[in-house]
Amino acid sequence: MKIVENEIKVPSPAGDIRTVVIRPVGDEAYPGLLLYTDIFQLTESTLRTARRLAAEGFVVVAPEIYPHGPLAGVALEFDDAGKQAGLDGAAATTSAQFDVDRVAVIDAMQARTDITQIFVTGFCIGGHLAFRAGFDPRVEATVCFYPTGLQNGKLGADPDAGSLGRAADINGRLMVVFGTQDPHVPADARLQILTALYAAGHDDLELHLYQGGEHAFMRDIGPRHDPSLTDLALIEAVSFLRGR
């Protein structure tokens, strides 16, 4: 599908959230897909992935995850300085602040006439944010790509946001993607996450574990990128979101 892209401002209690909306051309309504970025925010790399998803028949809504401080409007570089700035942005944001912004974005999605239902996805810290977005009963399906911090609850400024302990609050369908060579979510952490999800009743979740996949293997810049695994992961995610 051909796509069209524009930038909007989503109002929230803390101020506007810069958000990119990408959707198929035309007047038809489609499922909405809230897409959370990694710590580098709305980079061209992430937007390329968002465009691929939109072309599959979704209204992709990608907000900045640090929209209210010094990183508002900033797409960070994939270098040491950019990484540190992204980590600093996370460290300055509590899970409660992330949650307030999430509600604002989902409210805005629900008000759109071109969105039929609401799905969520995210990468790295965005995968953790996507997991928490699943607590919202309006979210019908969630795909978390290599979510960080689920095993120990670390999210932004919070040493333990308790996300995994609230897994039973996710009422929609759930898919989780990991790479076997991800140091942020090693085998013991993956086992801990899966055990908690099964214990919470998510024994029908869809789990994809890609052999050799490093952390951020879907980011199409840098030595970690694996194009073949990226294609597989996106194909499976789209199929999952469509309900097969």
Known catalytic residues are: 124, 182, 215
Q: What is the DSSP string of the chain?
A: --EEEEEEEE--TTS-EEEEEEEESSS--EEEEEEE--TT-S-HHHHHHHHHHHTTT-EEEEE-SS-SSTTTT-PPPSSHHHHHHHHHHHHT--HHHHHHHHHHHHHHHHH-TTEEEEEEEEETHHHHHHHHHTTSTTEEEEEEES-SSTTT--BTTBS---TGGGGGG--SEEEEEEEEE-TTS-HHHHHHHHHHHHHTT-TT-EEEEEEEEETTTT-SSSTT--HHHHHHHHHHHHHHHTT-
Tokens linked to 127: 């995968």
- Give the full edge-to-edge strand order of the sheet including 3-10: 3-10, 17-24, 59-63, 30-36, 115-123, 139-145, 173-181, 206-214
